Amino acid sequence: MNVYDDFFSDPARLKVYLQEAAVINFSELVSELMLKHSVGIPELAEKMGIGQPALFNYLDKGNIDPRTMAKMLYHLGYSIEFSAKRIKSLGVPPTA
């Protein structure tokens, strides 16, 4: 077993990894859209009616709920869609 397999064979580690990956993926998506449309942190925060520190917290710490995700993307001119992949394909039972 290699390091990758060893790491992902632990359900607790896999769960944390998947949570962190979701946060990173969302933050990267928002950053790409902000760059694409030349929208800065101050402008997006103002559009959302929040302070810049709150926006940084959402994007950096992942402390964000689906409504806030949708609101953020709305102010960038987008809607949000979700998809899911079975964890079983990674060798972990769904109840782990």
pLDDT per residue over 41-71, tens digit each?
999 999 999 999 999 999 888 788 999 999 9
| pLDDT at residue 93, rounded to an integer | 55
Predicted confidence (pLDDT) at residue 94 exceeds the cutoff of 60: no
Q: What is the Cα 42 distance to its own chain's centre?
A: 20
User: Is residue 85 predicted with pLDDT exceeding 70?
Assistant: yes
- Start-end of H helices in the chain: 3-8, 11-36, 41-48, 52-61, 66-74
DSSP conformation letters of 17-36: HHHHHHHHHHHHHHHHHHHH
pLDDT of residue 13: 84
Q: What is residue 40's three-state secondary structure?
A: coil
pLDDT in tens, 3-32: 767 777 788 888 888 888 888 999 999 999
